[in-house]
Amino acid sequence: MAQSQEPVNGYVRKETLMLVAFVTLIVGFIGGIVFSAFKSDTGMPGQGQVTAMPPQTSAGPAAGPDLTNAILDAEKEVAANPQNTKAWVRLGNLYFDSNKFKDAIRAYEKSLKLDPNNADVLTDLGVMYRRDHQPNEAIRSFDKAMSVNPRHEISRFNKGIVLMHDLNDMDGAIAAWEDLVKVNPLAMTPTGQSVDELVQKMKASKTQ
């Protein structure tokens, strides 16, 4: 990571805390979790502004009692129409928004039995596996998303996050993000930093 104490994207990096600072940032990324797009409260990256990320396949706005009612309606829909792929995805998204990880996993898996080649759903499934403390399953899900759509950028970035944070595999994370840069040389992190720049800083931190 950066060797100075100057702010980078709203965060202060200190030489003795380089790796800790990076991991803390990653924790913040996945704490919300993993991702369709990270958003800040202002729409711009900045310290303390990273909020929970929506799923790749949006369930639409719902919160509080509305979210509960939406889940009940979605559960009725899949019970009545178990072959409705979109209904299973919507139910999975609603569970995603409710932090019901295991329920979301089941719903997404149901949808993938009907439509196994949906890279977005595979990515959301990976997110839920990570939240359910199954990082290896998360990696497998992200890999499936990439096999379906080799240019799927979010699954590639998420894979790096899980490798870095959950599996303590910095080399694997660097490789995942290098592959992302090959797909899109202009790929950016949610805080607006170039992924290529991030990779170079990670490589530099290993040589210190």
**How far from each other are the two terminal CA atoms of the chain, in whole angstroms?**
10
The 10 Å Cβ neighbour count of residue 38 is 21
* pLDDT band of 184, cuts 50, 70, 90: very high
Give the pLDDT confidence of 70-108 residue by residue, as tens digits: 999 999 999 999 999 999 999 999 999 899 999 999 999
DSSP secondary structure code for residue 189 in this structure: -
The DSSP annotation for 103-141 comes to HHHHHHHHHHHH-TT-HHHHHHHHHHHHHTT-HHHHHHH
Read out DSSP for 29-97?
HHHH-S-S---BTTSS--TT-B-PPPPSS---S--THHHHHHHHHHHHHHHH-TT-HHHHHHHHHHHHH
- What digits encode the pLDDT tens for the residues 94-143? 999 899 999 999 999 999 999 999 999 999 999 999 999 999 999 999 99
pLDDT tops 50 at residue 15:
no
Question: Which pLDDT score, from 0 to 100, does residue 57 have?
Answer: 59
Least confident of 39-43, 58-62, 116-120, 160-164: 39-43
Reading the block at residue 5, the tokens are: 């104490």
* Residue 40, C-beta contacts closer than 8 angstroms, at least 6 positions apart: 46, 49, 50, 51
Rounded distance, CA 172 to CA 150, Å? 18
Residue 56: predicted pLDDT: 57
Name the token pair of 178: 């290098």
Structure-token pair, residue 53:
């990320």
pTM: 0.72
Q: What mean pLDDT do residues 14-40 have?
A: 35
Question: Range with the lowest mean pLDDT among 38-42, 99-103, 178-182?
Answer: 38-42
Where does the pLDDT of residue 163 fall: very low under 50, low under 70, confident under 90, or very high at 90 and above? very high
Q: Tell me the mean pLDDT in the region 20-25.
A: 40
pLDDT of residue 6: 36
